[in-house]
Amino acid sequence: PCADAQAEPPRLAFNRFYTYEETTAALQALERAWPRHLKLATIGKSVEGRDLWVMTIQNPDSGPEATKPAMYIDANIHGNELQGTEVCLYTIQYLMENQTKLPRVKELLDERVFYILPMVNPDGRAWWFQGPNTASSSRSGKKPVDDDGDGLFDEDGLDDLDSDGEVLGMWKKDPNGAFRPTSADPRILERVRPGEKGEYIFLGQEGIDNDGDGRINEDGPGGYDMNRNWPRDWQPEPLQNGAGDYPLSLPETRAIAEHILAHPNIAGVQAYHNAGGMILRGPGDQSLGEYPGDDVRVYDELGQTGEFVLPFYRYMILWRDLYTVHGGFINWTYEDLGIFSFTNELWNTGQYRGRVREDLSGFDRSSAEGMRWDDLLELEHQFVKLKPAKHPLYGDIHLGGYRKTSGRLPPLFLLEELCHRNAMFTLYHAYELPRVRFRSVAVEKVSDETHYVTVTLENSRTIPSRSAIAAARGIGQPDLLELTGASLQVLAAGRLRDKFRGALERVRAEPARLRLESGVPGKGSVDLRFLVKGRGEGKVTYRSEKAGVQESSFTIP
């Protein structure tokens, strides 16, 4: 058994995807194996009553959970975006299996806390496995929504006409059609040029008119987007499609928001999505303006390192490089809570070829070249050739196209590498959370009755103890440095503007309790000075929501 394991550790394989039930069992087995470091709890229920599991990871022997910087990681906010759940499971297992093998892992467990929520949308995940779906459905959860405004809810979704477990494209032979087989690969139907005649018309994805309104597949399960339901810059329909009735109107988003708000030590956030090969940050809307320069420099260092670790990914800004998002999760966690936050889109088809993105111009998985990669690497599994079927309205048709496992999900033989690389990026993010320590606490005589106590706080990591946006907007509590001593009286105190000349930014109220509004900068330090009357033992205590608690003792002789 692995070190510290108190039960036989689960042998989780990462060449497959796990259902909700299997993920739950895996989390429970991990906790049984490593109960000292792992605590599994449910923070709420989904619309259909499934648990929202959160695994808390830390070393309880190194101090209370609330006094350590924390990393929050979640996945699967969209039901069809599966593989982030596997990355979460991989991260938990990797930390546990390597706690005695790798000093970096031991340090992370000693000095950090991880809150990992593998399934934000367990109902959507369950539906993707159980129901007829494409690669892009169903993003939504399962709260019924009247998408077509006919007074009925979820009454006309996708239909698996031939019960083969797939929802494919519907094609019908037509001598005046707009599509024809390509010469490079007759399985691929291409649109004809103006003036040319094709052989097929496209009728949409498999489905029938279940409610008799003349439309097909227009009102499937759910119909909202949990990643548009967060408080920051929330906009109602139709300004933001899928926004929900109001911010945090869904049980899943509200439970997660309450969990994050209850843990102000969370200093980093990672959300896993599934397609595009992106490392995304906000803003989600151009009108919100750019982030403070000091925070942008932190984001750039983290994001550019991510590009190195994830060679097929690009570090991107949501509104500028992708699209506008109102009410997005990472926009809320950074802009309203001051937490450095990323969304990773986990799969890039460039990984299929094993070449970096600069070498992929013109590569399309639906092209003849892309089909050849599928044929050779997955033995024609991902594409279903056209096959005859009957439709109650269209008569004789053909069904064909890519399976739901294609396009947005990695081939299973590449899943473990995807899990490892993304887990390592997130562990790097966690490592760069603030680590503030006392560099020095010096006592200097001023007079027979008074002394200076000069304190230097140093942050050895990239992320500051308080983000610039948090300082500017008054988010959370500022850092605090407090001097105490039974026989000591603080007469004056403040931050040293120039420690060589002794220029002091003196505070007027409570000089024994210095508020550090801007915190301690990443890879930087701050110098503070107390003018103290009296002699004897004293203590300085540093407290920070994001950087934890540190103490140091001194003596005035």
Q: For residue 432, count other CB atoms closer than 10 A to its CB.
A: 22
CA atoms within 13 A on the CB side of 90: 25
Question: What is residue 355's predicted lDDT score, i.e. its pLDDT?
Answer: 62
Question: What is residue 333's predicted lDDT score, i.e. its pLDDT?
Answer: 99
The sheet with strand 383-391 has its strands ordered as: 189-191, 179-181, 200-205, 169-173, 395-402, 383-391
Give residue limits of the domains in the chain: 20-128+224-350+410-431, 145-220+366-402, 436-556
The β-bridge relationship of strands 266-273 and 340-345 is parallel
The sheet with strand 450-459 has its strands ordered as: 436-445, 450-459, 524-533, 489-498, 503-506
The class that CATH gives domain 436-556 is mainly beta
Q: For residue 413, count other CB atoms closer than 10 A to its CB.
A: 10
Q: Structure pTM?
A: 0.95
What's the CA gap between 195 and 178, in Å, rounded?
10
Question: What is residue 362's predicted lDDT score, i.e. its pLDDT?
Answer: 43
Question: What is residue 36's predicted lDDT score, i.e. its pLDDT?
Answer: 96
Superfamily of segment(s) 20-128+224-350+410-431: Zn peptidases (3.40.630.10)
What's the CA gap between 382 and 378, in Å, rounded?
7
Q: Encode the chain (557 residues) as per-residue pLDDT tens digits.
A: 455 677 888 999 999 999 999 999 999 999 999 999 999 999 999 999 999 999 999 999 999 999 999 999 999 999 999 999 999 999 999 999 999 999 999 999 999 999 999 999 999 999 999 988 999 988 999 999 989 899 999 898 999 999 999 999 999 999 999 999 999 899 999 999 999 999 999 999 999 999 999 999 998 899 999 999 999 999 999 999 999 999 999 999 999 999 999 999 999 999 999 999 999 999 999 999 999 999 999 999 999 999 999 988 999 999 999 999 999 999 999 999 999 999 999 998 888 877 655 444 444 556 788 888 889 999 999 999 999 999 999 999 999 999 999 889 999 999 999 999 999 999 999 999 999 999 999 999 999 999 999 999 999 999 999 999 999 999 999 999 999 999 999 999 999 988 777 788 999 899 999 999 999 999 999 999 999 999 999 999 999 999 999 999 999 99
Burial class (CB in 10 A: 0-12, 13-18, 19+), 67: middle
